[in-house]
Copies of this chain bind each other. A is one copy, B any other.
Amino acid sequence: MDLNYRTNYKLIKNEIIQLIRNAIDEDLQGYGDITSKYIIPDSSISSAYIICKEKEGAVLCGIDIVKYVLEEINLSISFNKNKNDGDFLKYKEMVCNISGPTKDLLAAERTCLNFLQHLSGVATITSKFSKITSKYNIKIADTRKTKPGLRKIEKYAVFCGGGYNHRFGLFDGILIKDNHIIAAGGIKNAIEKVRPHIPHQLKIEIEVKNLNELKEAINSKADIIMLDNMSPKVMSEAVKKIRKSLPDCIIEASGNVSLETVEEICKTGVDIISCGFITHSAKAIDFSMEFT
């Protein structure tokens, strides 16, 4: 598994290169690294490696971004990765070793680690959910609750952690929520307004909050039904009703999804569970660049 999961190397790199440049720029403005400038000789060359310092281990994500950061700082830095994105890392396990001008390694250090610690944080928490849901053959999906500007790489981290990517934005999926329903005057009206006009390649997903709304959604033959914030008991009943009337309908659960609640939700028999926590509240994983 590598960063190149979408289509190809060059495209992905183009997309994140601006992100990388902005991150480097935050650290190196004005006169640049003013500490190293006066201490480290231009001719000094060093080797270093990056290790995971998380006692419980972690799922790696961002190793190719580390490479791009280094390339952006100095093309002559050598880089060898020992692990790939998606790999599980044990405590103190080495993820890559690098060598090049000491000044350049120090200039790149924090930016490399900041990408790694955040993305591996997202991948690691996702993998914890995925370990549970996969036993039930259920997908754990991300949401649009991402950090501003980091959606693409956070969704990649979800993928690396074994998660499933929900729609990218408002433009590539129809999801009728409460405010749409109110505006349209009910679920039935909403679906009837949408059906003749949507891109013919898209299905219609509708969010329901209770069994009354569910009934209307079933009658309107929704293609996908999202059960929002239901108790496990109600959700089980909802799943049964849908399976009976609309056997091809995909069922998604959302709301109040945590490591404590997810297994109970799995037992209701839904197809997909979506969860904002894995992107908006992931704890960073501790990495460190050690010089040899």
Residues of A within 8 A of B (CB): 4, 6-11, 14, 19-24, 26-42, 44, 46, 72-75, 101-104, 106-107, 110-111, 113-115, 117-118, 121, 144-152, 165-177, 179-180, 182-184, 190, 193-194, 197-203, 205, 223-224, 250, 252, 271-272, 276-277, 280-284, 291
Once the chains bind, are B179 and A291 in contact (CB under 8 Å)?
yes
Bound CA–CA A171/B28 (angstroms): 6
Cβ A35 vs Cβ B72 within 8 A:
no
CA distance A224 to B177 in the complex (A): 26
Please determine whether B171 and A32 come into contact, CB atoms closer than 8 angstroms: yes
Complex contact A72–B201 (CB within 8 A): no
Given the contacts A150-B147, A183-B44, A284-B145, A6 and B31 also touching, CB distance less than 8 Å? yes
- A170 and B281 form a contact (CB under 8 A): no
Q: Does the CB pair B11–A28 fall under 8 Å? A: yes
User: Hey, which chain B residues are within 8 Å of A118, CB to CB?
Assistant: 147-148, 280
> Which 4 A-B residue pairings sit nearest by Cβ, starting from the closest?
A30-B168, A23-B148, A280-B284, A173-B201
Most chain B beta carbons < 10 A, residue from A165, A200, A280? A200
- Decide if A29 touches B169 in the complex (CB within 8 Å): yes
A202 to chain B, nearest CB (A): 6
Given A8-B74, A8-B104, A291 and B182 contact (CB-CB distance below 8 Å): yes
- Chain B residues within an 8 Å CB radius of A72: 10, 14
19 contacts between A and B (CB under 8 A): A4-B42, A8-B101, A20-B148, A23-B148, A26-B169, A27-B144, A29-B171, A31-B165, A32-B170, A32-B171, A35-B170, A38-B194, A39-B176, A113-B145, A148-B150, A172-B201, A173-B202, A200-B203, A280-B284
Contact between chains at B291 and A6 (CB < 8 Å): no
* A283 shortest CB reach to chain B, Å: 4
